[in-house]
Protein backbone atom coordinates (compact mmCIF):
# COMPACT_ATOMS: atom_id res chain seq x y z
CA UNK A 1 0.00 0.00 0.00
CA UNK A 2 1.63 3.21 -1.17
CA UNK A 3 -0.46 5.79 0.67
CA UNK A 4 -2.78 8.61 -0.34
CA UNK A 5 -1.62 11.47 -2.58
CA UNK A 6 -4.88 13.36 -3.13
CA UNK A 7 -4.74 16.43 -0.89
CA UNK A 8 -8.51 16.69 -0.34
CA UNK A 9 -8.67 13.03 0.73
CA UNK A 10 -5.65 13.50 2.98
CA UNK A 11 -7.27 16.45 4.74
CA UNK A 12 -10.60 14.64 5.08
CA UNK A 13 -8.86 11.64 6.64
CA UNK A 14 -6.31 13.36 8.91
CA UNK A 15 -7.75 11.99 12.16
CA UNK A 16 -5.04 13.67 14.28
CA UNK A 17 -4.22 12.05 17.60
CA UNK A 18 -2.07 13.45 20.42
CA UNK A 19 0.34 10.79 21.61
CA UNK A 20 0.63 10.45 25.37
CA UNK A 21 4.28 11.06 26.22
CA UNK A 22 6.02 14.40 26.22
CA UNK A 23 8.90 14.51 23.73
CA UNK A 24 12.15 16.46 23.54
CA UNK A 25 14.78 17.11 20.89
CA UNK A 26 18.37 16.51 22.00
CA UNK A 27 21.59 17.10 20.14
CA UNK A 28 24.92 15.33 20.55
CA UNK A 29 27.72 17.49 19.10
CA UNK A 30 29.98 14.54 18.31
CA UNK A 31 27.24 11.96 18.10
CA UNK A 32 26.95 9.26 15.48
CA UNK A 33 23.94 7.31 14.33
CA UNK A 34 23.20 4.61 16.90
CA UNK A 35 24.46 6.57 19.91
CA UNK A 36 22.03 6.37 22.84
CA UNK A 37 19.96 3.70 21.10
CA UNK A 38 19.28 2.35 24.59
CA UNK A 39 17.36 5.61 25.26
CA UNK A 40 14.89 4.44 22.59
CA UNK A 41 14.67 7.55 20.40
CA UNK A 42 11.70 7.52 18.04
CA UNK A 43 13.72 9.46 15.47
CA UNK A 44 17.27 10.56 14.82
CA UNK A 45 18.91 12.71 12.21
CA UNK A 46 22.59 13.14 11.48
CA UNK A 47 23.63 16.72 10.72
CA UNK A 48 27.10 18.22 10.29
CA UNK A 49 26.72 19.86 13.71
CA UNK A 50 25.79 16.62 15.46
CA UNK A 51 23.19 13.93 15.97
CA UNK A 52 19.62 14.96 16.77
CA UNK A 53 17.53 12.56 18.84
CA UNK A 54 13.79 12.78 19.41
CA UNK A 55 12.82 10.87 22.53
CA UNK A 56 10.52 10.97 25.50
CA UNK A 57 11.34 13.49 28.19
CA UNK A 58 11.48 10.61 30.66
CA UNK A 59 14.17 8.79 28.67
CA UNK A 60 16.18 11.99 28.10
CA UNK A 61 16.13 12.65 31.86
CA UNK A 62 17.10 9.05 32.63
CA UNK A 63 20.17 9.32 30.38
CA UNK A 64 21.09 12.87 31.44
CA UNK A 65 20.52 14.38 28.00
CA UNK A 66 19.87 18.12 27.85
CA UNK A 67 17.06 19.68 25.85
CA UNK A 68 15.13 22.89 25.39
CA UNK A 69 11.36 22.81 25.35
CA UNK A 70 8.75 20.11 25.72
CA UNK A 71 6.74 18.88 22.77
CA UNK A 72 3.70 16.76 22.13
CA UNK A 73 3.43 14.63 19.04
CA UNK A 74 0.26 14.83 16.99
CA UNK A 75 0.16 11.77 14.79
CA UNK A 76 -1.90 12.09 11.61
CA UNK A 77 -3.68 8.78 11.21
CA UNK A 78 -4.21 9.08 7.45
CA UNK A 79 -1.80 6.91 5.44
CA UNK A 80 -0.09 9.61 3.42
CA UNK A 81 2.24 8.88 0.54
CA UNK A 82 5.80 10.13 0.83
CA UNK A 83 5.12 11.72 -2.57
CA UNK A 84 2.00 13.63 -1.48
CA UNK A 85 2.27 17.33 -2.27
CA UNK A 86 1.04 20.14 -0.04
CA UNK A 87 0.00 18.39 3.16
CA UNK A 88 2.94 19.62 5.24
CA UNK A 89 2.52 23.15 3.85
CA UNK A 90 -1.17 23.31 4.78
CA UNK A 91 -0.61 21.89 8.26
CA UNK A 92 2.36 24.08 9.12
CA UNK A 93 0.67 27.12 7.54
CA UNK A 94 -2.48 26.64 9.60
CA UNK A 95 -0.53 26.26 12.83
CA UNK A 96 1.74 29.20 11.95
CA UNK A 97 -1.30 31.44 11.48
CA UNK A 98 -1.97 30.81 15.20
CA UNK A 99 1.71 31.27 16.14
CA UNK A 100 2.20 27.55 16.84
CA UNK A 101 5.50 26.04 15.74
CA UNK A 102 5.32 22.74 13.87
CA UNK A 103 8.17 20.28 13.54
CA UNK A 104 7.00 17.64 11.07
CA UNK A 105 8.57 14.21 10.72
CA UNK A 106 7.31 11.88 8.02
CA UNK A 107 7.25 8.18 8.62
CA UNK A 108 6.47 5.68 5.87
CA UNK A 109 2.78 5.52 6.84
CA UNK A 110 2.02 8.71 8.72
CA UNK A 111 3.17 12.27 9.32
CA UNK A 112 3.87 13.35 12.89
CA UNK A 113 3.70 16.98 14.01
CA UNK A 114 5.62 18.02 17.12
CA UNK A 115 4.17 21.14 18.72
CA UNK A 116 5.04 22.91 21.98
CA UNK A 117 3.34 21.14 24.88
CA UNK A 118 1.26 24.17 25.86
CA UNK A 119 -0.16 24.46 22.31
CA UNK A 120 -1.06 20.81 21.76
CA UNK A 121 -4.80 20.97 22.42
CA UNK A 122 -5.28 24.07 20.27
CA UNK A 123 -3.18 22.52 17.50
CA UNK A 124 -5.29 19.36 17.63
CA UNK A 125 -8.48 21.39 17.27
CA UNK A 126 -7.04 23.34 14.33
CA UNK A 127 -5.96 20.16 12.57
CA UNK A 128 -9.35 18.55 13.16
CA UNK A 129 -10.95 21.58 11.52
CA UNK A 130 -8.82 21.17 8.38
CA UNK A 131 -11.03 18.29 7.28
CA UNK A 132 -13.84 20.81 6.88
CA UNK A 133 -12.03 22.71 4.10
Mean pLDDT within 3-12 = 84
> What tens digit of pLDDT does each residue of 40-76 get?
999 999 999 999 999 999 999 999 999 999 999 999 9
Distance, CA of 59 to CA of 67 (rounded, Å): 12
The pLDDT value recorded for residue 28 is 95
List, for residues 115-127, the tens digit of each pLDDT value.
999 999 999 999 9
CA distance 76 to 17: 6
Average pLDDT, the chain: 93
Q: What SS3 class is residue 86?
A: coil
For position 61, what pLDDT does the model report? 98
Please identify, in words, the CATH class of the domain defined by 7-130. Answer: alpha beta
Query: What pTM was estimated for this model as a whole?
Result: 0.92
Sequence-ordered list of residues with C-beta below 8 angstroms from that of 70, at least 6 positions apart, any chain: 22, 23, 24, 57, 116, 117
Amino acid sequence: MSGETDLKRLLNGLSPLILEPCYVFCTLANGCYGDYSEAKPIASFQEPEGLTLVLTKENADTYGLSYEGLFRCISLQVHSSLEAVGLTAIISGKLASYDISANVIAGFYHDHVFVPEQDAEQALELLNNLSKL
